[in-house]
Structure 1
Amino acid sequence: MSTVNADGHGFEKTLPARRFVRYQRQHVLLVNVLPLIGTLIAFALLPWYPPTPATLIALVVLWPLTLGVGGSVGFHRCFTHRSFECARPVKLILAIFGTIGGQGPVASWVATHRRHHDCSDDVGDPHSPVTEAQGGLAKLRAFWHSHCGWMVEHDMPNPLFYTPDILKDSDLMWFSRHYYRVMLVGLFVPVALLVAFDPSWQTVWLGLLWTGAVRLTLTSQFIWAINSVCHFVGYRRYHTSDESRNVALICVPTCGESWHNNHHAFPTSARFGLRWWQFDFGWLVIRLLQFCGLAWNVKVPAADKIVGGPDAS
């Protein structure tokens, strides 16, 4: 099921990769490779320079704020699928934390995800692990492509087709234009707060390593797992036209995103964990916003549709 704004019809759906490959590889280098190197350094130095309790607390707090509040609630459920409406201050907070999460500018992220739903696990899906090729090596390559390989070079979903609503939103376009600057603020503000309590150069570089590099690396792995693992293993409660699956094991670190078959069955639903026992941090945040009068028109599927039978495939 597509969630494309009809105003975008009449434009080409994708733009050729060759026009964007330099930017795509630059992003991978700056936001993925460098943090990975920083993470390896942080763990290598762990016996001699462990993170302070305050640094670990900052990491634990930033995880759900960036991946859950910004990424899942903001970029995914609100901006992409319009599963609820919210007050402007809330929108700005969602955009800030989503941008700090380091998954790309909001306009391109939304376009890519709408493209994914437009042709999920079919020709044109930017990050599908599904392949007709036989053999373990072919499946491993497909898994790698869906997890992170696709980011190095891929056709760019055309924002004019997929995100005309985002292009008209001056707030979200500001965050798209200033993506790297906002990310830098997100790296240094937590460090500044840590230094305020423990002023030392060691606090600075340990803070950058753990609340910056380690956070970006670990949260990215779980975000990418939605594209790879959740289209590869797990169970299917609902019949969908793709291979989306629910993976309970990672529902906590992904803030509810791993109820992926539920999401593909009801893409405009603000609630991904459709059973009482399916932990969904993003849904809890939306319910809190709704209770406070900061979110409204919250979309959830009707109870009789949620019942659904398990997919025998």
Structure 2
Amino acid sequence: MTTFLTRPEPPRKAPKPMLSGQRSVGELVTIRAFLIIPFLALAAAIPLTWGWGMTWVDLMLAGVFYTISTLGITVGYHRYFTHGAFKATGWLRAALAVAGGLAAQGSVIGWVADHRRHHAFSDREGDPHSPWLFGTSPLALARGFWHAHMGWLFGRDKTNIDRFAPDLVADRRIKAVDALFPLWVALSVLLPAVLGGVITLSWGGALTGFLWAGLARISFQHHVTWSVNSICHMIGDRPFVSRDKSANFWPLAILSMGESWHNSHHSDPTCARHGVRRGQIDISARLIWAFEKLGWAWQVRWPTPQRLARLTKPAVAGQ
């Protein structure tokens, strides 16, 4: 009788914990300052400058900085670093990380870790910002909306970057950009002031540039991004199969640079285009297309008819 000896399988490694501890008091103070100061500036800018303080220079600067930093989030932090929707040259990779930092929404590694955790547990326990964690009653949904929109940012839990973003932790260039996040935030509020003063040759231009194109623009930008977390998981169209309550909300499409086609994104997270249907404006996808044409991006994961067919909800019998 022949005896066959089998080699025992090595024990599987336990997954790294989802959280890496809690934020310190200093971290909480810093985060709340980033959230509250721009919001107060937005609330104060209108009454303080009404009738004299807003100029076309302020609007131009706000538009330029809004566009660059928002695309840094949508194309860089989100579609590239979080989901790998395309490959990029080294200099473009660093530029996207810096541009995202100008939005003052967190350093690139922490942002990516939080967002990958969101996708891993979307609208379930473990999701850092789902509006559905407290129930479905009107009071629970109101609480959930606040939590998803910005309340979660006041919490102490820290996402474990070694579990959710080990690729970025291992990248020395991205770690350097990540460590310089306070510099990018400072430049984001000070450069509009400097440019406003130089263009208008006045201290008043520097002040209104600081208020409107700096602080107020950042606060407005925050709420657009947070609306994707809150509104786009509560209201809208759901044409594609997904494991959560993500929805397409067209009114935010332009301001969010295409991020509000959220059901489309959650059904196919690595796709470079979120507005996959005719007429769905997706400025971020257009920029990625331009990068590809210039040779700065490649292996772009564009939607195809076959890919979309796999995502469409099956027809209900009798309809």
Normalising by structure 2, report the TM-score: 0.90
From 203, 207, 214, the equivalent of 2:216 is 214
Instruction: State the Cα deviation string for residues 230-276 of structure 1 (Å, max 9, x = none).
Output: 00000101111111110011100000000001101110111111113
CA distance 1:192–1:173, shift in 2 (3 Å): same
**1:279 matched residue in structure 2:** 281
**1:33 matched residue in structure 2:** 36
**1:5 matched residue in structure 2:** none
Q: Do the aligned partners of 1:236 and 1:244 also contact (CA within 8 Å) in 2? A: yes
CA distance 1:238–1:197, shift in 2 (3 Å): same
Q: Say which one has the larger Rg.
A: 2
Task: State the secondary structure of the residue aligned to 1:125.
Answer: coil
Deviates more, 1:285-294 or 1:182-191: 182-191
Query: Displacement of 1:11 after TM fit?
Result: 2.4
Q: Which runs of 5+ in 1 are unaligned?
A: 1-7
From 49, 62, 65, the equivalent of 2:68 is 65
**1:142 matched residue in structure 2:** 144
Deviates more, 1:74-83 or 1:152-161: 152-161
CA distance 1:209–1:216, shift in 2 (3 Å): same
From 296, 309, 312, the equivalent of 2:312 is 309
Q: Give the alignment of 1:166-177 within 5 angstroms.
A: 166-177=168-179
Q: Which runs of 5+ in 2 are unaligned?
A: 1-12
Q: Do the aligned partners of 1:127 and 1:147 also contact (CA within 8 Å) in 2? A: yes
Aligned residues: 303
Query: Displacement of 1:214 after TM fit?
Result: 1.0
**CA–CA distance in structure 2, aligned partners of residues 47 and 113 of structure 1:** 38
Instruction: Name the structure, 1 or 2, with higher relative contact order (CA <8 Å, separation 6+).
Output: 1
Q: Give the alignment of 1:1-313 within 5 angstroms.
A: 10-17=15-22, 20-67=23-70, 69-131=71-133, 133-307=135-309, 308-310=311-313
Q: Do the aligned partners of 1:66 and 1:97 also contact (CA within 8 Å) in 2? A: yes
Task: State the secondary structure of the residue aligned to 2:49.
Answer: coil
- Kindly provide the amino acid, as one letter, of the partner of residue 16 in structure 1: G
**2:4 matched residue in structure 1:** none
Instruction: State the Cα deviation string for residues 69-88 of structure 1 (Å, max 9, x = none).
Output: 20000000011111111112
**CA–CA distance in structure 2, aligned partners of residues 62 and 289 of structure 1:** 20
CA distance 1:248–1:70, shift in 2 (3 Å): same
Query: Displacement of 1:309 after TM fit?
Result: 3.3
**CA–CA distance in structure 1, aligned partners of residues 292 and 108 of structure 2:** 23
**CA–CA distance in structure 2, aligned partners of residues 140 and 312 of structure 1:** 33
